[in-house]
Structure 1
């Protein structure tokens, strides 16, 4: 809006991680049950680490295990080992967890230094809050295309035409067009005639026909604009300069501001024009809109309590026609900039114009869902079909036909502001449901009453729920966003996962399988799967135990020491490269080398057997002559520790 100055009102994050309340009871690793051995992976990891073995994954698991169980002194110890080992590639959330752990044991100075590093690291990898609020917003807006078709409404003049509503199958709008006498007054700021309300009949496709002035009884010597009508058609609310019954009001600086007025229909004439009780000579109120049930009047104002240059407010309309105290819609909707021109449709969606929310330029049109409790879901830009680098505002739509109107001063228009007709092709508000079933990763048993927490990318807690009797959890989430999700249950390891939500309407199925703290092993099970051992690494064509291989074998050694009746068969496998005979011999040497390492570290030889299988038990297609990636070959180079007896 280039010149509608009066009627278009020119108006540190706390990163917190929720500590788990779960106090898991870690059972003794040598506890015996008939035909089963119970293996506590965390205790095994800790004993291995105490022997001096180090890895990023090992220290992360130990730190997290104690952090999630509020044993922060121990989490500080293992996070400290993590940072001492590698502080260059650690994810930002570990800085925060380490700082929280340090603060819990009184090391505040060190905690503050870690937090300073956290803020730098988070900003550098796009995780700082300011960027997160605006992450890729232009790309997201530009991607929202194909939602509308638009065309000139056919009622525009060379002056300002804007602010539409529909009443009795007529479009009612605001215009500064000169249809009066030669003496018609002009506004000194805009050099345009003062605005009046005009109307045009709508055909069956909601195309406007010939225009005419709306009602002479509403017209004053100054501006009238942006009407809205009650459903019974008997009351109109509209915007006008501070002028009533021949008297012009001014603020302390001598400026005539704008107010909201109402009139009632009596014998087909609009009469009894009165201003609303929350108007004032010292601030403006404008652009009224009604809730679908007619119980609330929404409007824009710069009254005291405004968060920005202008905010959206609402006031309850009581049955006797009086009004409640205006209520600011709050920071979800309002910003430090301008929010203006509200409109509510029959689907409980509020549309409004803003230059405070991220947009493509000037005023953009936004939408948010009005929740049953009267609060608002995330504000969304409605996309580049409607929004342009100029001002776009005054959105109105009929939810039955999906036809509507909006106003813009974009290039190519006829006047200062022009009214465009729109056709909505699909819903603008993207709604996504994140759901899944929590199960035991070994037995596949469903796990009801599991605590599931939803975090944003910065690990700020959004919502927490419990899985139902069927193990199911649900969250309403934002389309196109990324979340962290945490599942916690007694006797299970806490699991964190990252989930990306589609930018389209729909549902995202995200099942979560939890790992028992104590794993029930039986004859025939592979200890490598219990202890996350994928392969015992050897140097090329060699069979001597490397330092990193010893770290993995320490886990097996600990389990054997905790379960003196346990006997295992060590099995070594290769990929299909090299000859069959060579691979068989190499795998035999490696299996034997693994066995000898365990014997040298105190395991009775009678408890161990070993064999190399070469390439005879491939787990995929990668046989001789088959082209495979290095990752596919890696799956075949594995070590197994099969339980033979307990």
Structure 2
């Protein structure tokens, strides 16, 4: 960004203290230009000094800054790199700038390296803490990025700077340097004015005209916002009012907020300064909430955490403002936070260099902040909105209309017509479809007539369906919403899936796997399979019941108590490893130990038989005879180490009858 944005953000003054006396005259010749941010001229002189072989911290800092603040990151990386190579003590802020410059060249690995060094030196800095808390920030940004959006460079952009869009009546109001006249020394472009253009369709526009009234002056104007009743306009201007141009003690002319009133003839007049404007700090880039009761803006006023922060102030019924309040460290960092925009849902969009991003200024959003900002509550969550809005360049001035789905934003990315351009796109329709089937968890068989219920993120039922013979279900969903889908059926334990739909149209597929909660049992059935009892482990060479085995045997005990006519045969098996005679005796002791446990728990001994079979009834080919060796894996041998609880009779029917 090469216009009024930099003017807001650069609120500090650089002091020259080069030790290279032979070059002192040339450096002093651009001192005033540097202070006034006329970087084009400054960099040329400083480059000449560097080309003559001179090196110093001060020289490389100023050279790096000259390119960094013009967003010429390749040269910024070069000179900040020279600064780092000196291996001298420098302000940690230069580590941060070097990291951002590297990110602007898409050198994310190098950027992360210097961000970690910055955090080591300033562990309490919010920018470093934000980075360290989310080192894998790029994957998070990728998830929120959109590849189904076509961004359009608006036809009325010029070769100069155009940025900062807001809708008004049937058109757009924006800032532009197209007016000609005296030039701003910093970027050699004319000063900014506010313009308006009417729409002819979604991406075509009529003639661009200056906004009506007494808003524009010979200095900068930008970033307008209109009250819901259309009566007031708040906008940004240099500290120039009633023909008086004022600077602070360091010679910097700050930005201020002004309010204009719509007159009966349709012009904007009756310009008033906002009462908390100051000659000592900047106030800029206003946005209003949907009711017009709160105004959000950017400033470097006292109580600012970084180079500029986002503030909020109440708007009174007569259009006057209350006292500003900083949004706090959830939103602001020691970096630059600027260009706030509040949509009609109460979501705050703004640009920042302090949180992990793709490079330069990135656009972030804090959803429903306007509703959440109550009393002392300043604990807000934010997220980087990703591509295509964000890039390795400066991306700012976000504006969206939730009714028309039209988005505008500004950027100095490559391929534009001027130093800053306005871009637009229409958010694609985002309908989600989730489909799936209901199956038995163990067998994979379809479960017809199951009920599938859709819930929102708070557990409120949205819709329910009964599946047919194909056990299939389908629901239409919204994008970027959290849902829960539950499958139910008598005699089954329910299964549910919680998920969040993405921000683009696609189909989601789910499986609901229901586990039988009630099964019919008959003679010859193995309760170990019915009750899903895993291997009952005994300590090595022991037959006493371990605690974890006791938990499983309790399941058998419960069934025996429920069905007093049931009798079972307890069978214990081993794998082939070890002598066969020993395995048989050990397994028999374990079977008898299990039987005795059930007897001790009140089961009649007449209902229980038990026997150990050792390795005589393997369920696979993992035998060890005759060499007493086996090529089977440990897992394959484990299949043979099992316990069975065979129902020998129940309700007058026996296993012999079934056979």
Which residue is equivalent to 2:178?
Answer: 177
Inter-CA distance 467–142: structure 2 relative to 1 (3 Å threshold): closer
In the alignment, the residues of structure 1 paired with residue 501 and residue 642 of structure 2 have an alpha-carbon distance, to the nearest angstrom, of 36
Which residue is equivalent to 2:142?
Answer: 142
Inter-CA distance 609–315: structure 2 relative to 1 (3 Å threshold): same
> How far apart are residue 611 of structure 1 and its match?
4.9
Offset from partner CA, 1:575-608 (integer Å, 9 cap, x none): 9x99xxxxx9999877523134458999777785
Coordinate RMSD, CA, aligned: 5.4
1:424 to 2:427 alignment: yes
Which of 238, 253, 267 aligns to 1:241? It is 238
> How far apart are residue 642 of structure 1 and its match?
8.2
- Aligned counterparts, 1:293-442, within 5 A: 293-370=291-368, 373-375=371-373, 378-426=381-429
Inter-CA distance 467–391: structure 2 relative to 1 (3 Å threshold): closer
Which structure ranks higher in relative contact order (CA pairs < 8 Å, sequence separation ≥ 6)?
A: 1
Which residue is equivalent to 1:609?
Answer: 609
C-alpha contact (below 8 Å) 1:365/1:381 kept by paired residues? yes
Query: What SS is found at the alignment partner of 2:207?
Result: strand
Offset from partner CA, 1:306-345 (integer Å, 9 cap, x none): 2332111111111132222112223332233221111122
In the alignment, the residues of structure 1 paired with residue 280 and residue 350 of structure 2 have an alpha-carbon distance, to the nearest angstrom, of 24
In the alignment, the residues of structure 2 paired with residue 294 and residue 192 of structure 1 have an alpha-carbon distance, to the nearest angstrom, of 34
C-alpha contact (below 8 Å) 1:568/1:641 kept by paired residues? no
1:288 to 2:291 alignment: no
- Aligned counterparts, 1:496-511, within 5 A: 503=502
1:571 to 2:570 alignment: yes
C-alpha contact (below 8 Å) 1:146/1:425 kept by paired residues? no
Using structure 2 for the length normalisation, give the TM-score: 0.55
Which residue is equivalent to 2:260?
Answer: 263
- Aligned counterparts, 1:56-135, within 5 A: 133-134=133-134
Which residue is equivalent to 1:252?
Answer: 249
1:209 to 2:210 alignment: no
C-alpha contact (below 8 Å) 2:246/2:279 kept by paired residues? yes
Query: What SS is found at the alignment partner of 1:593?
Result: helix
C-alpha contact (below 8 Å) 2:222/2:236 kept by paired residues? yes
Which residue is equivalent to 2:535?
Answer: 535
> How far apart are residue 641 of structure 1 and its match?
5.8
In the alignment, the residues of structure 2 paired with residue 635 and residue 422 of structure 1 have an alpha-carbon distance, to the nearest angstrom, of 60
In the alignment, the residues of structure 1 paired with residue 409 and residue 224 of structure 2 have an alpha-carbon distance, to the nearest angstrom, of 14
C-alpha contact (below 8 Å) 1:147/1:385 kept by paired residues? no
Structure 1 stretch 370-379 or stretch 158-167: which is displaced more?
Answer: 370-379
In the alignment, the residues of structure 1 paired with residue 526 and residue 135 of structure 2 have an alpha-carbon distance, to the nearest angstrom, of 45
1:158 to 2:159 alignment: yes
C-alpha contact (below 8 Å) 1:170/1:199 kept by paired residues? yes
> How far apart are residue 139 of structure 1 and its match?
1.8
Which residue is equivalent to 2:40?
Answer: none
- Aligned counterparts, 1:25-44, within 5 A: none
In the alignment, the residues of structure 2 paired with residue 159 and residue 304 of structure 1 have an alpha-carbon distance, to the nearest angstrom, of 33
Which residue is equivalent to 1:486?
Answer: none
In the alignment, the residues of structure 2 paired with residue 271 and residue 406 of structure 1 have an alpha-carbon distance, to the nearest angstrom, of 28
In the alignment, the residues of structure 2 paired with residue 233 and residue 480 of structure 1 have an alpha-carbon distance, to the nearest angstrom, of 34
Query: What SS is found at the alignment partner of 1:148?
Result: coil
Inter-CA distance 534–602: structure 2 relative to 1 (3 Å threshold): closer
In the alignment, the residues of structure 2 paired with residue 238 and residue 130 of structure 1 have an alpha-carbon distance, to the nearest angstrom, of 32
Inter-CA distance 3–533: structure 2 relative to 1 (3 Å threshold): same
Task: Mark the structure with the bigger radius of gyration.
Answer: 2
Query: What SS is found at the alignment partner of 2:354?
Result: coil
Inter-CA distance 196–553: structure 2 relative to 1 (3 Å threshold): closer
Which residue is equivalent to 1:218?
Answer: 215
Unaligned stretches of 5+ residues in structure 2: 12-128, 374-378, 433-456, 462-478, 483-495, 515-521, 620-632, 651-659
Offset from partner CA, 1:420-449 (integer Å, 9 cap, x none): 122112579x9xxxxxxxxxxxxxxxxxxx
> How far apart are residue 417 of structure 1 and its match?
0.7
Which residue is equivalent to 1:592?
Answer: 588
Q: What number of residue pairs does the alignment pair up?
A: 446
Query: What SS is found at the alignment partner of 2:150?
Result: strand
Offset from partner CA, 1:454-473 (integer Å, 9 cap, x none): xxxxxxxxx9x9999xxxxx
C-alpha contact (below 8 Å) 1:163/1:174 kept by paired residues? yes
Which residue is equivalent to 2:169?
Answer: 168
1:193 to 2:167 alignment: no
In the alignment, the residues of structure 1 paired with residue 280 and residue 511 of structure 2 have an alpha-carbon distance, to the nearest angstrom, of 54
Query: What SS is found at the alignment partner of 1:138?
Result: helix
In the alignment, the residues of structure 2 paired with residue 549 and residue 388 of structure 1 have an alpha-carbon distance, to the nearest angstrom, of 64
> How far apart are residue 270 of structure 1 and its match?
1.9
Unaligned stretches of 5+ residues in structure 1: 12-128, 431-462, 469-477, 482-496, 514-522, 579-583, 619-628
In the alignment, the residues of structure 1 paired with residue 644 and residue 481 of structure 2 have an alpha-carbon distance, to the nearest angstrom, of 41
In the alignment, the residues of structure 1 paired with residue 389 and residue 584 of structure 2 have an alpha-carbon distance, to the nearest angstrom, of 70
Query: What SS is found at the alignment partner of 1:149?
Result: coil
Using structure 1 for the length normalisation, give the TM-score: 0.56
Query: What SS is found at the alignment partner of 1:142?
Result: helix
Query: What SS is found at the alignment partner of 2:610?
Result: strand
Inter-CA distance 385–598: structure 2 relative to 1 (3 Å threshold): same
Inter-CA distance 500–347: structure 2 relative to 1 (3 Å threshold): closer
